[in-house]
A and B are shown apart, each in its own frame.
Chain A
Amino acid sequence: MTATAGLPGWRVIAGSVPGPNHANVGLPNQDSVKQRALPGGLHVLAVADGAGSAARASIGSNFAVEAAVDAAVQCFARPPGSPAAWRAAVPTFAVACLQYFDQQVVRSGGTPADYATTLLAVVAGPPFLAYVCVGDGFLVTQRQPGGSRLLVPPPATRESASETVFLTSPGREDDLRHGLLVDTGLCGIALGTDGVIDGLLDVTRAPDGRMHHSAPADVDAYLDMFRSPAVDAADLNRKLSSREFAASSGDDKTLLMAVRK
């Protein structure tokens, strides 16, 4: 999907493909992606990764991105008029995301765990960028000058990914991260699910001995590439389906970008 963003002068490109581990056994893509223009030149972008072990994983991830869009429509019906208003809107947006998701699950019946999914959502109205995250998605922002930085990192290296927190997890409030970036140089935004972490991000050891992810300059290459009207979502899907990406992770892969043209 390629779209003109609600943000004047920006474009949005979304790619999402099933990982080889799922494709090989005929399972569907359990990631979901959604974006929508909001009034006043704002834009909401969301990605979600349904847990493979959940019975309704793909439905759950779809509920999550739908919830984020509904929450954004409610919380950003009018663009916040000041930095203080933006700051105040962010926690409201985060709580609304959780509430809309919960409502969808209750309406659909079944056990909440059947819909286990992560969520990463942003509302962009440069220079403001509000974000909400539960689980192992990641958010990169690009500024001019300066390049890319990892604003919301995925969890640090762990023994396995069995500790992922979902919107249906008892400890989701502890994992809920939300915040506001104010950056007049903001020119690119990339939201990814865990299937593209290894392919796109670096891991380095910090002086404290812990491992940390970072966004290498190569991420700039992606954002810069999709600035061009000559490339579109089909190109992104082809890239995400490539053998290189397949070799980097067996998971479903979703990358949602908004770039200033």
Chain B
Amino acid sequence: MTVDSLPVRQARNRTLIIMLLDTSSSMRQTGAIEELNTALRNWAEELRGNDFLMSSGEIAMITFGRGHVVAVDPRGQVAGQATRPFAPIREFNPPRLEAEGVTPMVEAIQYALQVLSTRKSELMQEGVGLAYRPMIYLLTDGVPTDEQGRPTDRWQDVAPLLRQHEAGKHLLFFGMGVRGADPAVLNGLAPQANYLLHDTNFTEVLRLVSTSIGSAQAESREAPADQIYQHFQEDNAKNAAMRDWLTNG
């Protein structure tokens, strides 16, 4: 046996990521859904460069819009509602999403919290802990609506719940909007971690997601959510400056 062949066990603790994806009709009307599909496929490839995430990460995709609120199979193998919302990131092969209908964003957030709670319980039963606190990313081009498609302010009811989860170090919640999203909603749902792009560049949105995952992993696990969000802002500013320098010299 050599040093290089000494055995190393695989990661046991998990990193849970939920993507909350807007698939309402506006995403189709602007062509944003295709941009999102392309960006997700490219992002899945990019994630393969993160050894620890590939080993420890699990991802769930919850769409809101077409089909109301649906946990789609992140492996892209089963159509419709997935029986197991989470899949290992190493198996992440995002299905092609289609857009239609209203924007049940609030119900999607509530469902995401439920799915997360269930998975955490399962992992605890298996004796598996969490490497980092779970991260939920809301990606939207619109505003939450009721079943008739009328804007609703029910998001104000779930915001305190999110703050409670953050304060308990159980969750990080990010709000990412593209053109058409309501900044007041994003700011209300994710006061310290919301971004609004003036176009529908989902590649940029997922770049922000990657940066935030790195920021969360670099922080101590006992760090308060505020500190992790601050770290993310700093990392994002640094990356933007670097890209600007590479582009413009």
Closest to A22 in B: B218
Does residue A91 face the partner (Cβ distance < 8 Å to B)? no
> Are A248 and B133 touching (Cβ within 8 A)?
no
**9 A-B contacts (beta carbon < 8 Å):** A52-B221, A198-B9, A201-B9, A203-B127, A221-B1, A225-B1, A239-B6, A247-B52, A247-B54
A87 CB to closest chain B CB (Å) equals 34
> Are A160 and B133 touching (Cβ within 8 A)?
yes
> Are A249 and B221 touching (Cβ within 8 A)?
no
> Are B169 and A53 touching (Cβ within 8 A)?
no
**Which of A160, A211, A216, A225 contacts B221 (CB under 8 A)?**
A160
Complex interface: chain A residues within 8 A of B54 (CB): 247
> Are B222 and A164 touching (Cβ within 8 A)?
yes
B39 CB to closest chain A CB (Å) equals 21
B208 CB to closest chain A CB (Å) equals 15
Interface Cβ pair total, 8 Å cutoff:
121
> Are B11 and A247 touching (Cβ within 8 A)?
yes
The size class of the interface chain B forms with chain A is 35 or more
Complex interface: chain A residues within 8 A of B8 (CB): 199-200, 242, 244-245, 248
Complex interface: chain B residues within 8 A of A205 (CB): 127
Complex interface: chain B residues within 8 A of A236 (CB): 3
Does residue B219 face the partner (Cβ distance < 8 Å to A)? yes
> Are A250 and B1 touching (Cβ within 8 A)?
no
10 extra A-B contacts, CB within 8 A, seeds A247-B10, A250-B131: A25-B218, A159-B120, A160-B132, A160-B221, A162-B221, A198-B9, A200-B8, A200-B9, A246-B51, A249-B13
Query: Considering the chains assembled together, what is the distance between the CA atoms of A39 and B172 in angstroms?
Result: 51
Which residues of chain A in 233-255 are interfacial with respect to chain B, using CB atoms and an 8 Å cutoff? 235-236, 238-239, 242-250
Complex interface: chain A residues within 8 A of B130 (CB): 159-160
The size class of the interface chain A forms with chain B is 35 or more
Does residue A54 face the partner (Cβ distance < 8 Å to B)? yes
**Which of B1, B128, B227, B235 contacts A53 (CB under 8 A)?**
B227
**Which of A51, A157, A201, A239 contacts B220 (CB under 8 A)?**
A51
**Which of B4, B55, B219 contacts A248 (CB under 8 A)?**
B55
> Are A52 and B214 touching (Cβ within 8 A)?
no
A22 CB to closest chain B CB (Å) equals 6
> Are B9 and A52 touching (Cβ within 8 A)?
no
Q: Which of A163, A202, A236, A244 has the most CB of B within 10 A?
A: A244
Contact with A along B213-227 (1 / 0, CB 8 A): 011011111111001
Does residue A20 face the partner (Cβ distance < 8 Å to B)? yes
Does residue B80 face the partner (Cβ distance < 8 Å to A)? no
Does residue B161 face the partner (Cβ distance < 8 Å to A)? no
Does residue A161 face the partner (Cβ distance < 8 Å to B)? yes
Complex interface: chain B residues within 8 A of A27 (CB): 218
B122 CB to closest chain A CB (Å) equals 12
Does residue A218 face the partner (Cβ distance < 8 Å to B)? yes
> Are B218 and A199 touching (Cβ within 8 A)?
no
Does residue B129 face the partner (Cβ distance < 8 Å to A)? yes
